[in-house]
Structure 1
Amino acid sequence: MAEILPQENALDAASRLLVTGEPVAIPTETVYGLAADATNGEAVARIFEAKGRPRFNPLIAHVADVNMAQRIAHFSPLAQRLAEAFWPGPLTLVLPQRDASGIHPLVTAGLDTIALRCPQGFGREVIARLGRPLAAPSANISGRVTGTTAQAVDAALGDRIKLIVDGGPTRVGLESTIVKVAEDGIVLLRPGGLAVEEIERAAGAPVKRGARGVQAPGMLASHYAPQAGIRLDIDEILPGEALLAFGPDRARGAAQAVLTLNLSPAADLREAAANLFSYLSKLDASGAKTIAVEPVPRHGLGEAINDRLARAAAPRD
C-alpha cells in the first residue's frame, strides 16, 4: 500500500523515488498527478501500467520554469507571451518538440509536438529539485474520475504505487486548459482550469475550437467517467437517480434523489469546478445506477465543466 505523507515533509522521499524511476502521486493546483521522470522510458511506462492508460494517449511534461521548457520545445513569441502570463498555473502549451529534447517518446505518443506545463506548489518544487521534467497525468485509473484529494488517489491507486503526497484538496479542481500554439494561431485542445477568455485577452487573438484527433491528453471521447451512467442537462429526476445539482433552483422530483450534491448553491463556476470530481465520486458511491446532472452554464469555466461531463457521459467501450 502507498505511504501518504503531508507535502511539507515529502520532498526528500518523493525525490528519492522519482530518481529511481518510481511514479509518485503529487498535488498540483489543478488535480493530483501521477508523476515520473519524463526522460526515463521505464519510469513513464510505470505510469501507463499503474493507470491502465492507452499508450496512444500522450502525457503532459511538467517543468519548473520557462527556461526548462525552452530546452524541450520551440517557443514562438506568442507561446512565450502565454507562458509568461500564466505560468506557473493551469495552462498547458502544445509546441513543436526539439530534436534533442531528452523527453522519452512514450510521453509524446509518437507526435512531433509536446504538451508542457509549469505547475504551482509542490509539483514545481520537486521538479526544480530533480532538475528534469516530470510526466504527470491525473492520478486515477484511466478514464475514471480524476482525484482531487490524496484520499481519492489512495482509493484508486494506493495498491499500485509507493507514495502519495498529500497537499489537501486541490484549489482549481479541473485539469489544465490545453492549447496548441501554431503559426496560424491558437487552437483549444481541451478546456480546463483557465478560462479561454483569459487566454484570448493575454494573446490579443481569438482561440480557435474544433480540434480533431488525439493531439493532447484528455481528448478521448469517453473519459473522467464514474461507474454509474450520466444523464446531462436534466429538468426532472427519475426514481433511483443521484443528483448533481447546480445553483439555487432544483429540477422536478429532486426530493426523490438517492443523494443530492450541489456543485455551487450560489452558481459560482469556480466553486463548481473545484467540487466537480469529488462530488461525482461521492454520488457514484451512493449506489445509484445513474447520476442526473442539472444544466451548468457554458461560459468561462463552465466550458471545461461541461466538457468533462460530456466525456463522462459518452458511450464506453
Structure 2
Amino acid sequence: MVTVLEEEDPHAVKHVVRALRAGKLVAIPCDTVYSLSCDATNSEAVRRLYAAKERPKDKPVSVAVHSPEKALELLEPVPRLEAALETLTPGPVTIVAPRRPGVVAPEVAAGRRTLGVRIPDHPFFLRVVRRFGKPIVTTSANVSGRPAPTDPDEVFEQLGDRLDILVEGECRFGEPSTVIELTPEGNIDILREGAMPKEEILETLRGTTSGA
C-alpha cells in the first residue's frame, strides 16, 4: 500500500524522512525528473531499490546531499571539484569523482571506485535531504529502460506498490541531469547530456584553475 502525500503538506518532509530511516522506498519530485530514493548507507534498502527498478546490479546509482560541504565528505579531492560544486550546484548536474571509502552502501557504487553526487535545485527535495542528514540515493523513478517520469501518475503506473511513499509535486526541468566526471588528471568528461547544457558546464569549469 503506497502512502500518497502532497509536496505542500507541512508534514510531508517528516513522513518521508521517517520512511527513509526505516529503510523504505520513496518517490519524490526533483528538479529534473521524479526521484526514486532510499537511505544510501542502508544496503538492504538499496538492494530493494534495485529490485523495484529492475535495474542491473552492475549499474551504479547516484546520491544526493544538501550542500557542497556534504558532497566533499563523500568524494576524494580532484581538480575542479570544489569549483564545480560551488558554481554548478544546486542544479541539474551529477558530478562523478573518485569516492571516499565506506561513505555509502557498497551496492550504490556497483563495484566502481567513483560516485555520482547531486545537489538538486528543488526546495522540497533539499529539505528532505537536509533533515535526513545522510546521503540518499537519487535515480529516476522508473522501471529500467522505460521513460523517466515527470509526474506522479507516471511514477505510480510504473512502480505502483513497490513504493512506500509517493509525494505529488512538480519537476522543474522535466529531463534527467547532465552527468560529468572529474578525473584525478584534471579532465572534464561529459558522460550524459541532460538538463544543463554541456557548453555551460565546460565554459564555467575551464575558467577555473585546475587545482580548485
TM range (shorter): over 0.9
Paired residue for 1:60? 62
| Deviation at residue 120 of structure 1 after TM alignment | 2.1
Runs of 5+ unmatched residues, structure 1: 206-317
Paired residue for 2:210? none
Cα distance in 1 for partners of 2:55, 2:38 equals 14
Pairing of 1:79-98 with structure 2 (within 5 A): 79-98=81-100
SS at match of 1:148: coil
AA aligned to 1:177 is T
Paired residue for 1:164? 166
| Deviation at residue 73 of structure 1 after TM alignment | 0.5
Cα distance in 1 for partners of 2:191, 2:179 equals 5
Cα distance in 1 for partners of 2:58, 2:147 equals 20
Q: Considering only aligned residues, what root-mean-square deviation do their CA atoms show, in Å?
A: 1.2
- Higher RCO (Cα < 8 Å, 6 or more apart): 2
Q: What's the CA shift string for 1:167-208, capped at 9, x where partnerless?
A: 13x111111101110114101111111000100111126xxx
AA aligned to 2:113 is D
SS at match of 2:150: coil
Paired residue for 1:99? 101
Q: What's the CA shift string for 1:45-99, capped at 9, x where partnerless?
A: 1111111111111000111111111111113341211111111111111111112
Paired residue for 1:244? none
Pairing of 1:208-219 with structure 2 (within 5 A): none
Paired residue for 1:51? 53
Cα distance in 2 for partners of 1:2, 1:119 equals 24
Runs of 5+ unmatched residues, structure 2: 208-212
Paired residue for 1:126? 128
Paired residue for 2:141? 139
AA aligned to 2:194 is G
In the alignment, does 2:12 pair up with 1:5? no
In the alignment, does 2:188 pair up with 1:186? yes
Q: What's the CA shift string for 1:100-140, capped at 9, x where partnerless?
A: 4x201100000011111111222211110010000121001
SS at match of 1:111: coil
TM-score (ref. length: structure 2): 0.92
Report which of the two structures shows the higher radius of gyration computed on alpha carbons: 1
Cα distance in 2 for partners of 1:82, 1:51 equals 30
The 10-residue stretch of structure 1 (87-96 or 68-77) with the greater mean CA deviation from structure 2: 68-77
Cα distance in 2 for partners of 1:69, 1:95 equals 10
Paired residue for 2:110? 109
Cα distance in 1 for partners of 2:147, 2:79 equals 36
Contact 2:78 2:186 in 1 (8 A): no
Cα distance in 1 for partners of 2:71, 2:149 equals 26
Q: % of aligned pairs identical?
A: 38
SS at match of 1:136: strand
SS at match of 1:123: helix
Contact 1:2 1:154 in 2 (8 A): no
Paired residue for 2:175? 174
